[in-house]
């Protein structure tokens, strides 16, 4: 193993929050013929990862394949409305299978259906992120798919490889593992180039790497390697280490997460928190200032605590929720900056108030315990 690969594999072994994506080609033998043995193994492995103390989210394809089975069809529909209808039929069936299997291991799952809008609109981004983080905090293993029934044209992500990278970005995952019907990325599509070689590590997505990645190998899959390379670009830039690994091998997730040389690894460019925090600190316009009292200043400096309304003494500026603001001491020294969860008007009502008072003060509005969550804040001194 070369040094770059060794370092990336070590990151995988240390990963605490993991997104696993499984493609149709792994989940089904053919249209409508779900591979229940594989799905069972997958659920067992996911529960095991979670039991070992890591957080895990599954991004699962397979809705269209399952829907085709129920309709007794062998061909993917060609029109978009028909695809949407078939996915709507199959999604329920898919969740029924997951629900049953997770329950067998005493675990709870949850269906989360997303579109591109949820990732690019700030409010929806925050809400989807918070919902997923709340599920993880409850010990739930969420199952994510694209909301195929509503996602067309500009709000459609279109393939679950890119969707899984978006989810990894949304929750600041440490790792993204894409399970497919092949060992990993080869120097060329092995279906057409039998002498192609498996690549262990891809340190950077160059035009040459993009050329090597071809389309889907079966009538089941969408996008083939090219959408997985797109996913790698997103994941690597967001600070998540990505792996393409063979979904058909029992125990593959455990091996990847033990840092073994399985599949192809794409090393993260930066620690996601460092990346996001440097963007927060230097990449965003400052829209307002919040002054805090001495106790709050100490909690933030000594423990990196989130900013709560009780410690705020004044609020300057006319900003929207999601803006970047500075946090200042009473003497005007900047302690931190971060993304605020409330707009300035609402925030002025919360100054000096306890979180327990929020339901009364904010009747009918979105409630966030923190004014700025510690993950969305960078200390400046």
Ligand X SMILES: N[C@@H](CCC(=O)OP(=O)(O)O)C(=O)O
Residues found near ligand ADP in the complex (CB under 6 A) = 23-26, 180-182, 185-186, 188-191, 212-214, 216-218, 220-225
Q: Please indicate if the annotation marks 217 as binding a ligand.
A: no
* Interface pick for ligand X out of 31, 50, 58, 61 (rule CB under 6 A): 61
At 267, give phi and psi (nearest 5°).
-65, 145
Q: Please indicate if the annotation marks 100 as binding a ligand.
A: no
In the bound complex, what is the minimum distance in angstroms from residue 197's beta carbon to ligand X? 23
Q: Please indicate if the annotation marks 360 as binding a ligand.
A: no
Residue 214 touches which member of ligand ADP, ligand X, none, C-beta under 5-8 Å by kind: ligand ADP
DSSP strands (E only) in 120-170: 141-146
Token pair in block for residue 314 = 């004044």
Q: Which is nearer to ligand ADP, 233 or 301 (CB)?
A: 233
**β-bridge pairing 141-146 and 109-114:** parallel
229 binds ligand X (CB under 6 A): no
Residue 64 touches which member of ligand X, ligand ADP, none, C-beta under 5-8 Å by kind: ligand X
Q: Please indicate if the annotation marks 224 as binding a ligand.
A: yes
Spell out the residues 6+ positions from residue 110 whose beta carbon is closer than 8 angstroms to its own: 135, 140, 141, 142, 143
241 binds ligand X (CB under 6 A): no
* Interface pick for ligand X out of 87, 235, 310, 371 (rule CB under 6 A): 87
Residue 182 touches which member of ligand X, ligand ADP, none, C-beta under 5-8 Å by kind: ligand ADP
Q: Which is nearer to ligand X, 32 or 223 (CB)?
A: 223
**β-bridge pairing 264-266 and 241-246:** antiparallel
What is the Cα–Cα distance from 267 to 5, expressed in whole angstroms? Answer: 8
Ramachandran area for residue 251 (φ above 0: left; ψ -120 to 50: alpha; else beta):
left
Residues 9-28 that bind ligand X (CB under 6 A): 23-25
Q: Please indicate if the annotation marks 227 as binding a ligand.
A: yes
Residue 217 touches which member of ligand X, ligand ADP, none, C-beta under 5-8 Å by kind: ligand ADP
Q: Please indicate if the annotation marks 225 as binding a ligand.
A: yes
Q: Are 62 and 28 in contact (CB under 8 A)?
A: yes
* Interface pick for ligand X out of 46, 50, 58, 62 (rule CB under 6 A): 62
DSSP strands (E only) in the chain: 17-22, 28-30, 33-34, 55-60, 109-114, 141-146, 175-180, 241-246, 264-266, 286-292, 312-316, 324-328, 334-339, 377-379
What is the Cα–Cα distance from 355 to 370, expressed in whole angstroms? Answer: 8
Q: Please indicate if the annotation marks 148 as binding a ligand.
A: yes
CA distances from 187 to 19, 107, 148, 198, 199 (A): 26, 40, 33, 6, 7
Residue 146 touches which member of ligand X, ligand ADP, none, C-beta under 5-8 Å by kind: ligand X
In the bound complex, what is the minimum distance in angstroms from residue 19's beta carbon to ligand X? 13
Known binding-site residue numbers for ATP: 21, 180-181, 222-228
Known binding-site residue numbers: 21, 61, 148, 160, 180-181, 222-228
What are the residues binding ligand X (CB under 6 A)? Answer: 23-25, 61-64, 87, 145-146, 148, 159-160, 221-223
């Amino acid at each position: 193993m070369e040094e770059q690969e060794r370092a990336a594999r070590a990151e995988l072994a240390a990963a605490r929050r993991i997104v696993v994506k499984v493609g149709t080609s792994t989940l089904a033998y053919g249209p409508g013929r779900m591979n229940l043995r594989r799905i069972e193994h997958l659920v067992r492995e996911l529960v095991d990862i979670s039991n070992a103390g890591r957080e895990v989210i599954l991004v699962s394809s397979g809705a269209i394949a399952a829907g085709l089975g129920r309709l007794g069809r062998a061909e993917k529909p060609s029109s978009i409305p028909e695809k949407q209808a078939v996915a709507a039929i199959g999604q329920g069936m898919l969740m029924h299978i997951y629900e049953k299997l997770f329950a067998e291991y005493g675990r709870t799952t949850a269906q989360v259906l997303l579109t591109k809008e949820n990732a690019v609109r700030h409010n929806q981004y925050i809400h989807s992120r918070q919902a997923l983080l709340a599920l993880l905090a409850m010990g739930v293993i969420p199952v994510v798919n694209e909301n195929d029934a509503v996602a067309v044209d500009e709000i459609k992500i279109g393939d679950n490889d890119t969707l899984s990278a978006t989810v990894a970005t949304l929750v600041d995952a440490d790792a993204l593992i894409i399970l497919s019907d092949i060992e990993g990325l080869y120097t060329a599509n092995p279906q057409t180039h039998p002498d192609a070689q498996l690549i262990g590590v891809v340190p950077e997505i160059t035009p040459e790497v993009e050329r090597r990645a071809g389309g889907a190998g079966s009538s089941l899959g969408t996008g083939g390697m090219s959408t997985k390379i797109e996913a790698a670009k997103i994941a690597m830039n967001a600070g998540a280490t990505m792996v393409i690994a063979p979904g058909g091998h029992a125990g593959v997730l455990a091996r990847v997460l033990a840092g073994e040389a399985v599949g192809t690894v794409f090393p993260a460019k930066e620690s996601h928190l460092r990346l996001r925090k440097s963007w927060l600190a230097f990449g965003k316009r400052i829209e307002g200032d919040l002054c805090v009292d001495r106790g709050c200043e100490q909690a933030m400096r000594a423990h990196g605590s989130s900013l709560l309304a009780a410690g705020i003494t004044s609020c300057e500026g006319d900003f929207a929720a999601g803006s970047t603001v500075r946090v200042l001491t009473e003497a005007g020294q900047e302690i931190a900056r971060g993304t605020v969860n409330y707009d300035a008007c609402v925030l002025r009502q919360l100054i000096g108030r306890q979180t327990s008072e929020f339901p009364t003060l904010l009747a009918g509005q979105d409630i966030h315990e923190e004014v700025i969550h510690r993950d969305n804040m960078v200390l400046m001194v």
